[in-house]
């Protein structure tokens, strides 16, 4: 998902159905069996734990109500914790600190480093500008994060090589902002579909680079079903009821997400063959998110509010591009744990927790850790 005002184009297609079962919270600690010494995260606002606000202290993510469930705003684009925090908790490692925090404090990362930047794109700024697409949030792309990672590994201790081989690398989610900014600048659906192979190649190149650093276990997450998010639903309101699925998500937008995800899955399969000694796992954020929708009531979410932002204002989906969460006078719902969407773009801590539980249960056997 994007971290700024986004406008999307509608791609007409049908949505396939699958049944997903929620995961018990007691299973969230299984990753400790892998014995990971550290986690290294590349990505965007789904994972950023403070890099953007270090770069731009005036970002809304640097102030309440962001971080409302925490002791202070940390730069996480939610009311509390993110999926990467629950993944770290599952491995019994500390929450990852943002790379730019470590640079400022001249300290090493205890238990790993978070290189993700809210608003970051998979493709470099110059490449997007050549296509008349502008990043409105940050100049830092995936290539910048990879440079930060190289700098960090080049300056770490002699034990670094051993630690890397016993670490978990999260390459993404990344790429959603490339599409969102493209749609914002009125690119057509066909133009955006043509961009997908370039985005996926950038992700592939990132995986190759982390393997070059010595990574032996890599998770490569896909994109969300963007047609279920308030930011998109509030911008596109098709009159044809056939344009929506049974969850009132826009089929065409979800189809676009699946197009990206399918190409990414194929790429992951190719990387597995190219690097047979490395465990590379596709992280199915799409299904993890849909597991919440399909089990919203049993998970404690208000089924009447699953497509409404907790922090926001505006008719229908409680979201407005002109008055977003964090702006003066924008209200916050009294019961965030009953909402899936926090600000119309990002999810609540509760939603991220359930997604993380599903994801951890899905990737654990694929990581081939000793039990």
The DSSP call for residue 31 is G
Q: Of 45, 78, 234, 257, which is the active-site residue?
A: 45
Torsion of CA 331, 176, 357, 344, to 10 degrees: 10
The residue whose two tokens read 């902002």 is 177
Cβ count within 10 A of residue 209: 18
Report the DSSP pairing between strands 112-114 and 167-171. unpaired
Measured in whole angstroms, the distance separating CA 322 from the mean position of its chain's CA atoms is 24
343 catalytic per annotation: yes
Question: Comparing C-alpha atoms, which of 64, 9, 26 is closest to residue 189?
Answer: 9
Q: Of 85, 245, 284, 343, which is the active-site residue?
A: 343
Q: Of 89, 260, 317, 346, which is the active-site residue?
A: 346
13 catalytic per annotation: no
Asked whether the beta carbons of 303 and 243 are under 8 A apart, the reply is no
Segment (H or E) for 114: strand 112-114
317 catalytic per annotation: no
Concatenate the DSSP letters of all residues of 11-29 into one string.
-----------PPPGGGGG
Nearest-angstrom CA–CA distance, 92 and 73:
23
Residue positions annotated with a catalytic role? 45, 343, 346
């Amino acid at each position: 998902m994007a971290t700024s005002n986004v406008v999307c184009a509608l791609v007409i297609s049908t949505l396939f159905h699958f049944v997903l079962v929620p995961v018990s919270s007691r299973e969230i600690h299984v990753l400790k069996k892998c014995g990971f010494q550290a986690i290294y995260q590349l990505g965007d606002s789904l994972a950023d734990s403070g890099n953007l606000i270090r770069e731009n202290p005036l970002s809304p993510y640097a102030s309440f109500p962001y971080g409302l469930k925490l002791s202070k705003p940390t730069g996480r684009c939610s009311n509390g914790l993110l999926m990467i925090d629950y993944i770290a908790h599952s491995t019994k490692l500390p929450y990852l600190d943002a790379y730019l925090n470590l640079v400022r404090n001249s300290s090493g990362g205890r238990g790993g480093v978070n290189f993700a930047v809210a608003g970051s794109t998979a493709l470099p700024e110059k490449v997007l500008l050549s296509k008349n697409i502008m990043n409105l949030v940050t100049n830092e792309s995936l290539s910048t994060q990879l440079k930060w990672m190289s700098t960090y590994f080049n300056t770490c201790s002699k034990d670094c090589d051993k630690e890397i081989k016993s670490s978990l690398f999260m390459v993404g989610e990344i790429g959603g902002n490339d599409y969102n900014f493209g749609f914002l600048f009125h690119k057509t659906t066909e133009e955006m579909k043509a961009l997908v192979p370039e985005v996926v190649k950038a992700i592939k190149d990132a995986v190759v680079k982390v393997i070059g650093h010595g990574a032996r276990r890599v998770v490569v997450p896909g994109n969300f079903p963007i047609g279920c998010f308030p930011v998109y639903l509030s911008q596109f309101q098709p009159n044809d009821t056939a344009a929506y699925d049974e969850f009132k998500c826009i089929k065409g937008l979800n189809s676009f997400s699946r197009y990206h995800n399918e190409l990414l899955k194929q790429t992951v399969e190719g990387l597995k063959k190219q690097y047979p000694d490395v465990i590379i796992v596709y992280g199915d954020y799409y299904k993890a998110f849909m597991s919440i929708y399909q089990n919203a009531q049993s998970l404690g979410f208000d089924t009447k509010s699953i497509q409404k932002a907790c922090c926001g204002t505006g008719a229908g989906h409680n979201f407005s591009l002109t008055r977003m969460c964090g702006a003066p006078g924008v209200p916050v719902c009294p019961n965030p744990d009953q909402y899936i969407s926090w600000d119309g773009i990002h999810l609540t801590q509760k939603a991220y927790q359930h997604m993380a539980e599903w994801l951890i249960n899905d990737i654990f056997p694929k990581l081939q850790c000793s039990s």
